[in-house]
A and B are shown apart, each in its own frame.
Chain A
Amino acid sequence: MNWHEYVSKTGRLPEWPYEVNYGKENVIESDVLVVGGGVAGCRAAIEARKQGATVAVMDRGFSKHSGNGGAGVDHWHGAVTNPCSKVTPEMYSEAAMICSGGYTNGSARYIIGKEGWDTLLELEEWGMQIRDLDDEFKDTMFRDEETKLLFAYDVENKHCLRVYGHNVKPIVDAEMRRLGCDVYDRVCVTSLLTEGGKQGARVIGATGVNDRTGEFYIFKAKAVVVSTGITGRLWYFAPELINDATMYNLNQTAAGHTIAWNAGAEMVMMEQNSPRPLAGMGYAPYSTGNTDNTYQGVPAVDNEGKLIKYENSHGELIDEEHDIFAAADPDKFVIGHGINLSMVNGKEYSVTNMDRHIGEKIRKGEYKLPLYNDWTLLPPKHRRLVFGMMLSQEGKCRVPIYYNLTKWGFDPDQDMLQYPVDTPEGYAQGAAWVSSRSHNPPNWGGMGVGGILSDWRLQATIPGLFAAGGNTLFGSGCHGEAQTTGRYCGRQAAAFAKTHPAVEPDAEQIRKEKERCYAPVTREQQGDVGWKEMNYALARLMQDYCGFEVKTETTLEMGIRRLNDLRDTEGERTYASNPHELVRLLEVFSLIDLGKLIMESCRARKASSDLLGFKRLDYPEVDPPEWDCFVSMWQENGEVCSRKVSKRYYLEAPYADNLEENYRRYAELDSKEGK
């Protein structure tokens, strides 16, 4: 029942069901601390534990299902060393750099290429299905007969695999707990602890608050892996309206970005933000007709049944189904969707899409609205592969879409799923369920966006801090990438912990953090601003002062002042009725700092960039050579600093000039092999 029903029926208000002890200290010591127990964090914990480290994991939710990957996965990018693949880690890493114009993480993409398949094989050992074991898809172009692997996007080069991952999170969670990792659920991270309490010093732990009890957690560790998510709460906030349609849940506040920034780590690509669909102004993912990602290859028709063809990277319409899943001659291979490789520079790696001229053809009357996915046009096994296999495994799709649709009678063998009625040009993007980009305010670009600047160990610029996952680690990708970088970071953090003794945290740093965290529940005068009102105000400031079209030095600087003002004025009038609201409020304070980091990053890049989807009104020149680089941001004694960093820094001194040599030097291969 819901709260209203309970109150109506009983005439009573339910008391808070958990014992509350605001500020009560819990001290946990371990070799390695993992902040964020999503798929990346669980993999980091498992790997560090296997290397002999004691491991504590702090998770905002409940690690059995928490995180972006917590509700499932249907395909795995970067498994380029699988026995069927014709793509090498070198090709994969280079392709990622070309597609993004260099604005991605070249070392991480290489590590993903080297270890993505191994990371997936371990999941298979733990019980996740990664092959067509029952031969359901035998004799289709998507399957290899010998290995029974199933391919997505590119049936010739075979580097991206379809997987049965609806239960991926319970599987990694069980393995993490089986190995004896110490998991702290419902604890929201609030800060990183640094040696001597100094910004820029070695990271030696973290603090958190429990959203049920209000208790305070002090984690002491020799090495810390941060593997938190992105956020959909920054530029706009309307959970009651958008939660069913967003891929980011409310817990996802990019807390890892903020704590790393506040600890003094360097951050890159934080200025990349443009109108993006994924924060939920559209429809539940895959709940309407579309041709994107999981639904790649499903035919679209108009209201009279007329087929709308797919188009290849050269703008040619495709007649054969095979060619939807292959690189067009002379292209190299198809990278695929959802890993934030913008394709601005990399047409030869493009995915086939719906006819890009669909908008004008609708306007001319060539096609009549509404559009549908006509599943019946697919061969039966292909139809089953997309609807019965992919959709039922993809994140946030098994219960809300597959079970929901079939329960209400949807049958792909005889039904056509309607598209939303949208502006004609909006259909060209494929993912119709996200609604037209024109309807969306700026947001982050999905998986693989800006984050912690990393070295070949995926260590931040401050010692003891490692970045894993599709978000915290800059430019790294989506689900498979999160698991792979997580596993790699676990190995690195364990190695670091072996050679770096524990350091006692600074008592003053902890005292100040506690005071900040509990202010909303200890004010002499009761506050009158709740967490939602704060979040709405934050979103308004981001829309006004960090919009897509309008960014200037003056307005960005004003935006930063307004954010400080929000924190220091309304922020000091905030209240929380219980620990749940307190933690939501702490998340908003964290998001305010994140907003400042983003505005500072936008200020520091004094040029516009098509490659980054970044516009400055006062610096309209697009991608001039002097700004063809990362702009790295960090704080020193509270002052904001920035510097330019080469996009190929991972192949420049002190590193070797080739990928394999660096990997061999830094990947801790001895421990990887269990030596």
Chain B
Amino acid sequence: MDRIYSMPSQTGACRVLKFDAEKCVGCNTCVNTCPTDVMIPNPEAGKEPIVLYAEECWFCGCCVEECPFDALELITPAKQRLSTVWKRKATGEEFRVGMKNPPAPNTTPPSGRAK
């Protein structure tokens, strides 16, 4: 068994960002993009940043947009995932953000030229 540490409980959403370890090179673009400075660089160079102040995340997603390696995913809080619910008109099926066995993604890109 791993060591058990004395730690304060996390407040609010525990994971606001998910890094893809395969893609993240620890460039810290996200750290330096964040308007509210919620991350710090990992002390080990080349590794993914540390989310230090998760409860200060505004969920604007600018870090995701700026990531040069597409390594970042914004995870909205559980209360919000359970609040974004939709029903397929033809079948009456219910879906939500973060559900088990989700339907296929809708891959329609946003309108407009800039990506």
Residue ranges of A at the interface with B (Cβ–Cβ < 8 Å): 1-4, 6-8, 11-12, 14-17, 60-62, 64-67, 70-71, 127-129, 133-134, 136, 164, 166-167, 186, 211-212, 239-241, 243-246, 249-251, 283-284, 287-288, 372, 374, 376, 384-385, 388-389, 392-393, 395-396, 398-400, 402-411, 414-418, 420, 580
Contact = CB atoms under 8 A, between A and B. Distances in A.
Ranked 10 nearest A-B pairs via Cβ: A399-B61, A240-B12, A392-B110, A61-B35, A409-B103, A389-B111, A249-B58, A164-B112, A240-B55, A65-B62
Given A11-B5, A14-B40, A244-B77, A410 B111 contact: no
A72 to B, nearest CB: 9
Contact of A136 (B48, B102, B111): B111
A409 B95 contact: yes
19 contacts: A2-B16, A7-B5, A17-B40, A64-B33, A70-B35, A245-B80, A283-B83, A288-B83, A288-B85, A392-B110, A392-B111, A396-B58, A398-B110, A400-B60, A402-B110, A406-B105, A414-B89, A418-B85, A580-B53
A251 B102 contact: no
Contact of A243 (B59, B89, B96): B59
Contact of A415 (B11, B76, B95, B105): B95
A16 B52 CA distance: 11
Most buried by B among A166, A211, A408: A408
Contacts of A1: 19, 48, 50-51
Contacts of A211: 37
B13 A416 contact: no
B112 A389 contact: yes
Contacts of A580: 37, 53
Contact of B52 (A3, A67, A164, A249): A3
A406 B89 contact: no
B71 interface: no
A292 B10 CA distance: 34
A62 B2 CA distance: 39
A6 B50 CA distance: 7
B111 A4 contact: no
B83 A408 contact: no
Interface residues of B, number: 68
Contacts of A71: 60-62
A20 B37 CA distance: 16
A65 B10 contact: no
Given A2-B54, A404-B74, A415 B88 contact: yes
B97 A405 contact: yes
B114 interface: yes
A6 B108 CA distance: 37
Contacts of B57: 243
Contacts of A376: 89
A399 B74 contact: yes
Given A8-B2, A70-B60, A409-B105, A2 B55 contact: no
B113 A133 contact: yes
A95 to B, nearest CB: 30
Given A1-B48, A287-B83, A399-B65, A61 B97 contact: no
Interface string B1-36: 011010100111111100100000000000011111
Interface string B88-100: 1110000111110
A244 B76 contact: yes
Contacts of A2: 10, 14-16, 50-51, 54
B69 to A, nearest CB: 16
Contacts of B3: 8, 11
Given A62-B32, A416-B89, A166 B76 contact: no
Given A1-B50, A17-B43, A399-B74, 6 more contacts: A3-B51, A3-B52, A6-B50, A71-B61, A283-B80, A409-B104
Contact of B111 (A243, A283, A384): A384
A393 B110 CA distance: 8
Nearest to A407: B105
Contacts of A404: 74, 76, 84, 97
A409 B93 CA distance: 12
Nearest to A411: B106
Most buried by B among A71, A167, A246: A71
B78 to A, nearest CB: 10
Most buried by A among B57, B96, B111, B113: B111
A198 to B, nearest CB: 34
Contacts of B83: 283-284, 287-288, 420
A414 B108 CA distance: 13
A420 B104 CA distance: 24
B106 A409 contact: yes
A385 to B, nearest CB: 8
A210 B87 CA distance: 48
Contact of A388 (B48, B56, B105, B108): B108
A374 B87 CA distance: 10
B2 to A, nearest CB: 7
A400 B37 contact: no
Contacts of A60: 35
Nearest to B112: A164
A415 B11 CA distance: 34
Contacts of B15: 2
Most buried by B among A2, A128, A249: A2
B108 A240 contact: no
A446 to B, nearest CB: 17
Contacts of A136: 111
Contact of B114 (A167, A186, A402, A407): A167
Nearest to B17: A2
A365 to B, nearest CB: 21
B33 A372 contact: no
A417 to B, nearest CB: 5
Contact of A129 (B32, B53, B114): B114
A70 B76 contact: no
A239 B56 contact: yes
